[in-house]
Amino acid sequence: MDTLRVPKPISGGIFLSYKCNSRCRHCMYACSPRWEADWMRLEDAERVMRNLSEAFRGRYPSGYRQVGVNLGLHLTGGEPFLNPDLLLDLVRMADRLGMPSLFVETNCFWAATDESARESLNQLKEAGLHGILISVNPFILEYVPFERTLRAIRAAREIFQANLMIYQEGFLHQIERLGVRGTIRFEDYLRTAGASSMYYAELLPMGRACYELRHLFPRHPAEDFFCMSCRAELTRPWHIHVDNYCNYMTGYCGGISLGDARRMDEICSGIELDDKPILARLVSDRGIELLYRFAVEEYGYRELRKGYISKCHLCVDIRKHIVEQTDEFVELKPEGFYRNLKAEDAVS
């Protein structure tokens, strides 16, 4: 029986849900307002956090509070501030369990006034939050007025000081220089800032970006990616994610579940691949070719005439095609990810 050895995670995030006030064109996890608000259940979160705490044991000094994108535990989604009570509960739980480098990731939609922004962050800090990651980019700027982002940054700087991370700082300065007020459509942003404005972007050609930002990338025929395997990404121990359905996900690979994170010991003691043929192919040598041939032969997949921007584009397009025909693959989860990639497919 083939098994996949998955090392214990060394850092990662928990999704409160996939629901977001925004529907960013670059979102790797296809989050949007249309997702069901299936919030992470407290009892599930506790089991997942205990497992992560166990996995992190010995990796961080006791009481470690310094934050870093690839350190410790973060709370994310979707937009965590859509459910402030759950966010507070999870921060308290993480604090009780002594989780290291505990931060929340947000798009700042909630920062309506200076006072309310400070109050929200102070409450979270008192509950045990160590820091915050504020996302700044032209995609979020389509939904979140820039004034709110700046307001949240001011409050976070005051409250979390050095434990404020801005991702990506280059975009913050670019948007400030452009003098943007409110929100702006991405097409107008590109027109104003110029195509070179995207040089800042650490823009991963995965998830929704494969459909909504493909015009920014050169395209290639499927066979250009055939020699690639995804073993490294799918067994990556840093910055793993556990979603609100307890799917254990690695490598920023939205829609691929390695198993149930409530039983993380089963995942980390080796995943049986016999009942996960998609995963089995992806981690093989020439995994992309194997996945492609499987999809063409078994599910009638047809290569996109205009080509693909990345191996992830080919992979996600194939997975989406398969999920539209069958729910038999336990590793292709959650199903909502595939329904919320493209605007025309989005249903609640």
Measured CA to CA, the distance from residue 340 to residue 327 in angstroms comes to 16
Q: Which residue, 79 or 260, has its beta carbon nearer to ligand SF4?
A: 79
Contact 291, 318 (CB under 8 A): yes
In angstroms, the Cα distances linking 224 to 33, 125, 214, 220 are 35, 48, 17, 6
Shortest reach from residue 300's CB to ligand SF4, in Å = 20
In angstroms, the Cα distances linking 271 to 3, 72, 169, 239, 263 are 5, 24, 38, 19, 12
Shortest reach from residue 143's CB to ligand SF4, in Å = 7
Kindly list the residues in this chain that would bind ligand SF4 in the complex (CB under 6 A): 20, 22-24, 27, 31, 77-79, 107, 135, 140, 206, 230, 233-234, 251, 253, 256, 282, 311-312, 315-316
240-242 and 12-15 strand pairing: parallel
Q: Which residue, 128 or 320, has its beta carbon nearer to ligand SF4?
A: 320
Buried b (16+ CB within 10 A) or exposed e, 237-258: eebbbbbbbbbbbbbbbbbbbb
Shortest reach from residue 313's CB to ligand SF4, in Å = 8
Buried b (16+ CB within 10 A) or exposed e, 89-125: ebbebbeebebbbbbbbbbbbbbeeeeebbebbeebb
171 phi/psi in degrees, rounded to 5:
-70, -35
Measured CA to CA, the distance from residue 264 to residue 271 in angstroms comes to 10
The C-alpha torsion from 191 through 197 and 199 to 203, rounded to 10°, is -70
Shortest reach from residue 139's CB to ligand SF4, in Å = 6
Measured CA to CA, the distance from residue 80 to residue 198 in angstroms comes to 27
Q: Which residue, 27 or 184, has its beta carbon nearer to ligand SF4?
A: 27
Q: Which residue, 243 or 260, has its beta carbon nearer to ligand SF4?
A: 243
Q: Which residue, 222 or 230, has its beta carbon nearer to ligand SF4?
A: 230
Q: Which residue, 23 or 118, has its beta carbon nearer to ligand SF4?
A: 23
Shortest reach from residue 140's CB to ligand SF4, in Å = 5
Q: Which residue, 118 or 311, has its beta carbon nearer to ligand SF4?
A: 311
Measured CA to CA, the distance from residue 213 to residue 26 in angstroms comes to 7
Shortest reach from residue 282's CB to ligand SF4, in Å = 5
Q: Which residue, 130 or 241, has its beta carbon nearer to ligand SF4?
A: 241
Shortest reach from residue 272's CB to ligand SF4, in Å = 18
- Token digits of residue 271: 């995943």
Shortest reach from residue 186's CB to ligand SF4, in Å = 12
Largest CA distance in the chain: 59
